[in-house]
Chain A
């Protein structure tokens, strides 16, 4: 069983939701409304699927570390994408994948930044999708998953 070195430190800019059930786990973080509303730009989602070995590790540890892994990948992305007006607005993780969504002035900023970031071992190569909605709309839509029934 994976032992975390320190307690989960949720960044104060984000609210969180965690559903723990018998055969699913869904952890998500989203930017607080007061910080989210003023943002403009393009919403880009980066989806990292778990590597096969990470899937097995997660299974063995009852998915108890996935929230820590989500924060780690957010840190890596924040460390790489230092461009102004570029902000992580939403992150969700379950047994299939970890997905991080950002707002950036142009999607290219995210693409280029990601090129220079080494992909963590526990993930397969990420897929990127642009969403044609505002940051607020995107987060509101994804937060519907906070209902345990839908997740």
Chain B
């Protein structure tokens, strides 16, 4: 089979030939980079959904404090519900694929996957929030409902000059009696569920659990990540050295005569060096 391998700029204007060996190495490196980024992106999906929930809670809290714009309240309640649903779904996207991604990055290190499994088990044993959000996935996918009640309190505090000042506190709750069960919810979790759960507090604790998983997973792939990163960077530098930085958006192409001289495979390369900048996930928060 006659195959041709090369690097190309975005507009196919400039090309640089590759050997089959180099092509395979780049393909493996690209796979690893994309998987590691996928783990990070999914972690930040969860954190970003949490931020959105916080913002929506603050807005709803203000609306309930003034009770002025009822139409706005009715509009924002379903939006908050949607955000909490999204949070729960994104949490499952992260936890359900974490092991698969790490396994694909480290195909020969099965003991790493065992280690991750054990860590997830430990989190499940240790944290009620981890168990509850895990069980909540079935509930929200079935009912599309992710909270049941609001609680808006205000108290008076005295400021520095002794003048009274009103402070509001706004919370969203999941109530055990509204979950129903045990058929509607994982029985073992329902049994230990308190009468009501403060949603933001629950999700903040869950964020902490995912943070531990994410940190550990990143530690496992650090070596292959840096190896893949520097190899791709090396090829990019050669390409840029030859054609200039304006052609830095590079793709890898595999052409074969067996398909009528068509492009058999084409994948982006430089985006995996840059996409942390794009999505702002270069710093853990």
Q: Which residues of A contact B (CB under 8 A)?
A: 1-4, 6-8, 10, 12, 15-22, 32, 61-62, 64-65, 67-68, 146, 148-149
Instruction: Judge if B68 is at the interface, Cβ distance under 8 Å.
Output: yes
State the Cβ distance, A78 to closest chain B Cβ, in Å: 18
From A3, which residue of chain B is reached at the shortest CB distance? B70
> What does the 1/0 interface line of B154-180 toward A look like (CB < 8 Å)?
111000000010100000010100100
Contacting pair A148 B154 (CB below 8 A): no
A61: chain B residues within 8 A (beta carbon): 70
- Docked Cα-Cα span, A62 to B81, in Å, equals 17
Q: A65 near B153 (CB under 8 angstroms)?
A: no
* 9 other A-B residue contacts (CB within 8 Å) besides A1-B71, A15-B156, A148-B175: A3-B71, A10-B166, A12-B166, A19-B151, A20-B64, A21-B149, A22-B178, A32-B164, A61-B70
Q: Are B150 and A32 in contact (CB under 8 A)?
A: no
CB–CB A32/B70 < 8 A: no
In the bound complex, how far is the Cα of B74 from the Cα of A20, in angstroms?
A: 12
> Do residues A32 and B156 form an inter-chain contact, with CB atoms below 8 A?
yes
Please determine whether A12 and B164 come into contact, CB atoms closer than 8 angstroms.
yes
A4–B151 CB distance below 8 A = no
A18 to B64, CA, bound (A): 9
**B residues near A7, Cβ cutoff 8 Å:** 66-68
Query: Given contacts A21-B148, A22-B148, A148-B173, is CB(A4)–CB(B153) below 8 Å?
Result: no
Contacts of A1 in B (CB 8 A): 70-71, 74
Name the interface size band of chain B. 20 to 34
Given A8-B65, A12-B166, A148-B196, the answer on whether A19 and B71 have CB atoms closer than 8 Å is no
B221 to chain A, nearest CB (A): 45
The residue on B at minimum CB distance from A61 is B70
Give the distance in Å from the alpha carbon of A16 to the alpha carbon of B173 in the complex: 18
Q: In the bound complex, what is the Cα–Cα distance between A22 and B74 (angstroms)?
A: 13
Indicate whether B218 reaches chain A with its CB closer than 8 angstroms.
no
Check B150 against A21 for contact (C-beta < 8 Å): yes
CA distance in complex: A120, B95 (Å): 58
Q: Which of B68, B154, B178 contacts A16 (CB 8 A)?
A: B154
Asked whether B151 lies within 8 Å of A148 as measured between CB atoms, the reply is yes
> Can you spell out 16 A-B residue pairs with CB atoms less than 8 angstroms apart?
A7-B66, A7-B67, A8-B68, A12-B166, A16-B154, A17-B152, A18-B64, A18-B151, A19-B149, A20-B64, A20-B149, A62-B70, A64-B74, A67-B67, A148-B173, A149-B175
Q: Is the CB of B67 within 8 A of A148?
A: no
Given contacts A12-B166, A16-B153, contact A149 B196 (CB under 8 A): yes
Residues of A within 8 A of B153 (CB): 15-18, 146
